[in-house]
Amino acid sequence: MEEYEEFVKAGKIAGEALKEGIKWVREGIEYREVAEKIEEYIKAKGAMPAFPVNISVNNVAAHFTPSQSCRDVFKKGDVVKIDVGAHINGCIGDTAKTVEVGTKKYAKLIEAAEEALKAAIDSIKAGIKIGEIGEIIEEKIREYGFTPIKNLHGHSLERYKLHAGLSIPNFKNKSKVELKEGQIVAIEPFATDGLGMVVDAGLGNIYRIEKDSIMARELKKRFNSLPFAERWLYEIYGEKVPFKLSFLLKRRIIAPYFKLIEAKGGVVSQAEHTLFVTKEGCEILTEIK
Ligand code: CO
């Protein structure tokens, strides 16, 4: 299979997994159950999770997955972002959506992120400048009366590289860098009624390999350079996970991702698709019709 075809296939699986996963988000259901079901779905379709399913609720924006011992359940009124990644031989589809549990109080906030994503997608073709994309996203979110999150960006994707160098801000900026034909990019506007910044707020139960070491051989073999969940380590280390984790962290063989929360406690919405940039426009690889 060619790289393009692998991205197309991974994108489709990520999109389907998200579509299914969203249906499982209901009052009283555990975060962990939804994350595990989505990850199982991805595997059943012949791909692998490209990163742990991110479940970010209310003022949490990103970089959180439930831990093995997490018993948190969705509550009525929660604004839930589900961010899903699937990969085939390192070719990644990355997609996210926001839902509100049982209420419609934040419908406009959710719509703001979705419409900003749509407007960006409509504008994307080879030659568009990163600064222009940011401006389109910011304008749409502000039209709704909300603020884009400034320190969370879209990104380019390459085989086994979730963030492949190109960063696409969600606000007007001066970047003259142009998207190129054949590039794979994930666009992910975040909207909030808060300040428009995220800050670290403790462990997100997501890790990455930081240093090549014989002690990370098993992790490297399984996850390559992609982020992995604390939950996933139970398959490898069994009951020794807490000990192994602190050992690997202390030696800086692995590094943690921190949960990102809105700086002023604002509620956050997110929408994301992975795109293949063409001369005339783009193909939405994670969209399920
Ligand atoms: Co992404």
Catalytic residue among 30, 114, 135, 163: 163
Same domain, 196 and 211: no
Separation CA 260–CA 60 (nearest Å): 6
- Residue 178 gets which letter from DSSP? B
Distance between Cα 186 and ligand 1 center (Å): 6
Same domain, 40 and 171: yes
Per-residue confidence band for 213, with pLDDT thresholds at 50, 70 and 90: confident
Scored b (16 or more CB within 10 A) or e, 122-142 reads eebebebebbbbbbbbbebbb
Establish whether 135 is a catalytic residue.
Answer: no
Establish whether 155 is a catalytic residue.
Answer: yes
Q: Is 155:166 a contact under the CB 8 Å cutoff? A: yes
Is it the case that residue 11 has pLDDT exceeding 70? Answer: yes
Considering the domain boundaries, does residue 289 fall inside one? Answer: no
Same domain, 157 and 116: yes
Separation CA 33–CA 73 (nearest Å): 9
**What's the confidence (pLDDT) of residue 92?**
97
Considering the domain boundaries, does residue 14 fall inside one? Answer: yes
**What's the confidence (pLDDT) of residue 98?**
98
Same domain, 150 and 254: no
Considering the domain boundaries, does residue 72 fall inside one? Answer: yes
Considering the domain boundaries, does residue 126 fall inside one? Answer: yes
Catalytic residue among 6, 94, 138, 193: 94
Same domain, 212 and 143: no
Scored b (16 or more CB within 10 A) or e, 264-277 reads eebbbbbbbbbbbb
Same domain, 134 and 222: no
Assigned token pair, 256: 């943690």
For residues 269-274, give the mean pLDDT: 98
What are φ and ψ of residue 160, in 5° steps?
Answer: 60, 15
What are φ and ψ of residue 161, in 5° steps?
Answer: -125, 105
Q: How many domains does the chain have?
A: 2
Distance between Cα 187 and ligand 1 center (Å): 7
Distance between Cα 207 and ligand 1 center (Å): 16
Assigned token pair, 210: 């930081």
**What's the confidence (pLDDT) of residue 289?**
83
Distance between Cα 188 and ligand 1 center (Å): 6
Is it the case that residue 1 has pLDDT exceeding 70? Answer: no
Separation CA 229–CA 204 (nearest Å): 9
For residues 78-92, give the mean pLDDT: 98
Report how far Cα 203 is from the mean position of its chain's Cα atoms.
16
Full domain range(s) for residue 76: 4-200+263-284
Considering the domain boundaries, does residue 133 fall inside one? Answer: yes
Q: Is 233:248 a contact under the CB 8 Å cutoff? A: no
pLDDT digits (tens, 9 = 90+) for 181-200: 999 999 999 999 999 999 99
Considering the entire predicted model, what is its pTM?
Answer: 0.96
Same domain, 246 and 182: no
For residues 148-158, give the mean pLDDT: 96
Share of the chain above pLDDT 90, in %: 95
Same domain, 63 and 126: yes
For residues 28-43, give the mean pLDDT: 98
Same domain, 253 and 267: no
For residues 151-168, give the mean pLDDT: 94
Same domain, 161 and 55: yes
Same domain, 122 and 227: no
Same domain, 231 and 176: no
Considering the domain boundaries, does residue 28 fall inside one? Answer: yes
205 closest CA partner among 91, 96, 56, 102: 56
Question: What CATH number does the domain containing 271 carry?
Answer: 3.90.230.10
